[in-house]
Amino acid sequence: MNNLTASAKKFLKNKNMVTIIGVIIILILLYVGYSTQINRAVEPIQIPVATQTIQPRTEITDDMVSLIDMPNVSLSDNVIRSRSQIVGMYSNVNSVIPEGSMFYTDSVISEDELPDAAFAKVKSGEVVYNFPVDMESTYGNSIFPGNKIDIYMKVGDGQDEKIMIGKLIENIEVLAVKDSSGRAVFENTSEQRTPSMMIFGLKTDLYLMLKKASYMGSLGVELYPVPHGGTVDTEGATQVSTQQLVDYIDAHSVNIPIPDESTTDPLAPTVSETGGERNTVTITYPEGCGSTYTCTYVKDGGRSQTVNKTTQDVVYTGNGTLTATVQEQDGTAHTITVDIPMTNSTNSES
């Protein structure tokens, strides 16, 4: 035992040997650590991929997802690695998930996160109108969201009653064009979709007037869109003014009193802005966000953001839209939509 202790002391006094042994130990540790990292990086893991091409706004079911082995090092941070995080979710708007593709965090959202930009873009004080169209009335599917249109009205059958044609409403911004299933016609998709409805916003009086006219088919009334600034063929018809068309509609319908819009909704959020180059808009909610109420806002038709406090600042660097909502536990929603800067534009009659 004494000899062993003496040998160890002698060895430790030899600095060269200690250095060599230390270097060897460090190299071994580096090798083991490096090998472990390499093995971990190339070790295959199972990730979900699409078994078919998934169109936008589509619920992802179990049969649309399968698992394949992929090296861990080849996966980016935004790749979803769990099947349970995908099944039951929806493909994002304007996101086509190709067959065989991995699922990414920005291409898969929950049903509650599905935005409908058309409703978010409706101006304050306007009502959403769903105008029926087809391939012919949209000029071969050539009217896009963001285009401006006029609504023309034809009256009479040319036999018992002379035909009258005139512009009923002008300068309407198209918010969305959808097919018969409610899917946006111009989404980023390989499907060929046929237009069935055109969505836009109208002031209450214009909404009521257009709705009345839409029920007068038995009187030979036809309504059709025309690109703003365009002309229509009026050969064989009598051109009339907008006021004459309005008088005709009123003469064949009962006026519905417009509710007093000045009544304040105590649960509706309010919006104020400070102006400046970086315009800060402040939303004020009632007490109870996050507990009694679900409070949200949507900036420029993007994703809905949840708020759990009474005020929320939103910064704009240019023009835009802002929608703020307070939802009660029974689902009743109190919503306000404003243009940023907060100046409401309106459709006008001729």
pLDDT digits (tens, 9 = 90+) for 305-340: 899 999 999 988 877 888 899 988 877 888 888 887
| Cβ atoms of 322 and 299 closer than 8 Å | yes
* Superfamily (CATH) of domain 270-340: Immunoglobulins (2.60.40.10)
| Cβ atoms of 347 and 170 closer than 8 Å | yes
Do 44-113 and 270-340 agree at the fold level? Answer: no
Give pLDDT, residue 210: 94
The secondary structure element, H or E, covering residue 312 is strand 311-316
Q: pLDDT averaged over the chain?
A: 81
DSSP string, 321-341: EEEEEEE-TTS-EEEEEEEES
| Cβ atoms of 228 and 149 closer than 8 Å | yes
Classify residue 246 by its DSSP letter. H
Assigned CATH topology for domain 44-113: Type Iii Antifreeze Protein Isoform Hplc 12 (3.90.1210)
Give pLDDT, residue 346: 33
DSSP string, 16-28: HHHHHHHHHHHHH
Q: What are phi and psi of 297, to 5 degrees?
A: -145, 155
Domain boundaries, the chain: 2-40, 44-113, 117-251, 270-340
| Residues of the chain under the 70 pLDDT cut | 1-18, 34-42, 112, 115-118, 120, 158, 160, 188-190, 231-238, 255-264, 275-278, 342-350
Task: Provide the b/e sequence for 195-222 (b: ≥16 CB within 10 Å).
Answer: bbbbbbbbbeebbbbbebbeebeeebbb
Which pairs from 260-266 meet CB under 8 Å and 24+ separation?
Answer: 261/125, 261/204, 265/334
Distance CA 109, CA 303 (A): 10
Give pLDDT, residue 348: 34
Provide the Cα torsion 265, 204, 197, 141; round to 10°.
-120
Give pLDDT, residue 2: 58
Of all residues in the chain, the percent with pLDDT exceeding 70 is 79
Give pLDDT, residue 198: 93
Give pLDDT, residue 331: 75
Give pLDDT, residue 349: 36
- Per-residue pLDDT tens digits for 255-299: 655 555 555 678 889 988 776 666 788 999 999 998 889 899 988
